[in-house]
Amino acid sequence: MPSRTEELDRLLEKIINSPHGTEASKTLEEIENNQSYILDVQLKKLLRLQDDSFKNKCVSPVNDMLEKYTPYLGRTEALQEEAELVDRDLRIIEMTYQLIKKNRNSE
């Protein structure tokens, strides 16, 4: 003898799959159609909006910075060389100053 749960499941299945258009079968069909619309149309639209938003907030600003500062990339080597020359000159001046100071003290 089937349990009440099994009997209810069988009755529900009979109502849903009835060849006659019952309210339950119409509602189930509407839910399935809505689910298809959500997955096929709305979800794709939402993903496209999300991708556009991410692109506008993250990717585009980084690309803009890259375009803005790319011309300066070649200059970094020259800048490094200039900094080394300035450092060398400062060391020479410092050593010269120390030698002058030492000669004054020895007189």
At residue 64, does pLDDT exceed 90? no
- Please work out, in degrees rounded to the nearest 5, the angle formed at the alpha carbon of residue 22 by the alpha carbons of 40 and 4: 100
How high is the pLDDT of residue 107? Answer: 67
At 94, is the pLDDT very low, low, confident or very high (cuts 50, 70, 90)?
Answer: very high
Residue 28 half-sphere exposure toward CB, CA atoms < 13 A = 12
Annotated domain spans of the chain: 75-107
Q: Is-above-0.75 flag for pTM?
A: no
How high is the pLDDT of residue 77? Answer: 73
pLDDT per position as a tens digit, 95-107 = 998 999 888 887 6
Average pLDDT of every residue of the chain: 83
